[in-house]
Amino acid sequence: MVIEVYLIIGIITAYLLGSIPTSVWLGKFFYGIDIRKHGSGNAGATNAMRIMGTKAGIIVLTVDFLKGVGAIAIGGMFQNQIPSTEYFVSYRLFLGLIALMGHMFPVFANFRGGKGVATMAGIVLAVFPEVFFICLGVFVSIFIPTRYVSLSSIVAAIAFPLFVIFVFKTELLPKVIFSILTTVILLVTHRKNIQRLIKGRENKILFKI
């Protein structure tokens, strides 16, 4: 019974951590705006960079990234209580997913958050470090010539489960399921971006101070 209580506390903590609306609070307290009413209307690093500048965008990106890392770290606190490797991995990934949901539907910002790319990247680094750096390379290789953050994120997200399953041949089913599920989530949150990309109307990112 005690361990169940701790596990539930971990889930709640992961959600609250993910719910920290970095760009919303930064815009409100330092720029006097609601970032969700400007630009693309998304409460993420890209829109923060576009509306509030490069420095603000980097801050949002960093904090949102660390939310993903932090959620996985919370799971690490219960390693001794969850003896099975598969159960332990499943719990950590579940916490990561909960933090991702918190980022997308933050209780501190009327459940209107970002698309989850940075938070997902933090989770991937914490659990799939080798795959993270490969996907980062994929992201950069697409972003540099195109300047489309959305396209770069989409391609990197699609590459994620492919590397997990076919290159690293991951045998733990929870990791395989997580890689596929989070990719589907990212594609769904980027559906409007995909439509704009097809129509040639997607905005490129331009850096400004």
CA distance 128 to 82: 20
So where are the chain's domains? 2-199
- Between the alpha carbon of residue 89 and those of residues 68, 122, 146, 170, the distances in Å are 15, 16, 36, 12
Proportion of the chain in helix, strand, coil states, percent, rounded to 5: 75, 0, 25
What does the pLDDT look like over 36-87, one tens digit per residue? 999 889 999 999 999 999 999 999 999 999 999 999 999 888 767 666 678 8
Rg of the Cα trace of the chain?
A: 17
CA distance 101 to 81: 25
| Mean pLDDT score across all residues of the chain | 93
pTM summary value: 0.93
CA distance 137 to 184: 20
Positions in the chain short of pLDDT 70: 1-3, 79, 81-84, 207-209
First to last CA, the chain: 52
